[in-house]
Amino acid sequence: MANIPAQTTPTQIIGNKEHGFPMIENAWDFFSSKGTKTVFISVGTGASPLAELDLLEMMGCPVHIFEPSAANILNWENVKGVLKTRKAVDVKGDFDKEALSKWVLPRNVLTRHELPSFYKGKVELNGESVTTVNVHESIVNICSEMKVQEPRIDILKVDLSGNECAVLDIFLLEGYRPSLILVNWSESPDTCYKTLSAAGNLQMLGYSLVGKNGNKYLYYFTNKNYYEMCSWEEINEYNKNPLVKVLVEHTLSTVKAKTEAAKNKTTS
């Protein structure tokens, strides 16, 4: 898989104009070594299926959709019906109508009426009793079905209004680091403490923000974990934040080295 310079990555909008997500322009090239074995996980459903369908059309891989809402599960079943027949007469509503223009195999849209969690059980979500599944077991099973040797996630899309922070936490705390994360923040990270914490944690763990469309953000994993730059066990003078302390010391050391180099150059 190729690396991308996060600051200059060209992006495009997948999905329709109103509900679209940012995505890197060269998605197929980026995942070309994995091809149809690209592991694409989607949690929750937005107002349109086109973001998922656009990606499937580009990649040719399946999407595994974890959806806690029974109504949205039905919407996706209707989408598969339209993809199968490609006839307007089979359209049940505005959601599946958008699938008419897509060339996607219905078998590549795999839905699960479940919510990823640490534990198996039941939770109440938006007035509906939802089955929770162990996220690691689920990913292991999905990768096994796809004949992917090591459990991984290549693309993670989260669109679960009000619960996106908790869902992201579950995947990250289980050790998964998807190459790309698409998330629909329920509120802007700069205006809400909950989403601020979640967005900040993503970037501290090594994700760079490479695109956004409204509250829909695209992150790319750089593998630069800033938490690992310092020790979180040391008691330091003046109770400074350990990471800030390391950054300040590094900056002062760099400035000193450059100053000394400039002096040596002047006297030589």
Q: For 184-224, write each residue's pLDDT tens digit.
A: 999 999 999 999 999 999 999 999 999 999 999 999 999 89
Look at residue 257 and tell me whether its pLDDT is greater than 60. yes
Mean pLDDT of the chain: 92
Question: Domain for residue 1, yes or no?
Answer: no
Question: Domain for residue 44, yes or no?
Answer: yes
Residues 6+ apart with CB under 8 A from 3: none
Q: Are residues 135 and 246 in the same domain?
A: no
Cα–Cα distances in Å, from 58 out to 26, 40, 104, 241? Answer: 10, 12, 9, 44
Q: Are residues 163 and 71 in the same domain?
A: yes
Q: Are residues 197 and 244 in the same domain?
A: no
* Percent of the residues in the chain that have a pLDDT greater than 70, as a whole number: 96
- When computed from its CA atoms, the radius of gyration of the chain, rounded to whole angstroms, is 22
pLDDT band at 8; cut points 50, 70, 90: low
Look at residue 3 and tell me whether its pLDDT is greater than 80. no
CA nearest 161: which of 14, 46, 17? Answer: 46
Q: Are residues 26 and 116 in the same domain?
A: yes
Q: Are residues 140 and 202 in the same domain?
A: yes
Question: Domain for residue 178, yes or no?
Answer: yes
What pLDDT is stored for residue 118 in this prediction?
A: 95
pLDDT band at 243; cut points 50, 70, 90: confident
φ, ψ of residue 37 in degrees (nearest 5): -95, 15
Q: Are residues 215 and 239 in the same domain?
A: no
Question: Domain for residue 164, yes or no?
Answer: yes
What pLDDT is stored for residue 1 in this prediction?
A: 47
Question: Domain for residue 147, yes or no?
Answer: yes
Question: How many domains is the chain built from?
Answer: 2
| Domain containing residue 159: CATH number | 3.40.50
Residues 6+ apart with CB under 8 A from 179: 1, 30, 31, 154, 155, 220, 221
Q: Are residues 146 and 42 in the same domain?
A: yes
Q: Are residues 14 and 142 in the same domain?
A: yes
Q: Are residues 45 and 178 in the same domain?
A: yes
Q: Are residues 35 and 148 in the same domain?
A: yes
Q: Are residues 206 and 238 in the same domain?
A: no
What pLDDT is stored for residue 263 in this prediction?
A: 82
Look at residue 85 and tell me whether its pLDDT is greater than 80. yes
Question: Domain for residue 60, yes or no?
Answer: yes
Tell me the angle at which helices 193-204 and 164-173 cross, rounded to the nearest 10 degrees.
Answer: 30
CA nearest 160: which of 41, 15, 61, 37? Answer: 41
Residues 6+ apart with CB under 8 A from 159: 42, 43, 44, 45, 46, 183, 184
Long-range contacts of 114-120, Cβ-Cβ distance < 8 Å, separation of 24 or more: 114/66, 114/67, 114/68, 114/138, 115/43, 115/66, 115/68, 115/167, 116/43, 116/66, 116/167, 116/170, 116/171, 117/170, 118/170, 118/173, 118/174
Range of the domain at 262: 230-267
| pLDDT tens per residue, range 109-126 | 999 999 999 999 999 998
Question: Domain for residue 220, yes or no?
Answer: yes
With beta carbons less than 8 A apart as the criterion, state whether 69 and 95 touch. Answer: no
Q: Are residues 52 and 114 in the same domain?
A: yes
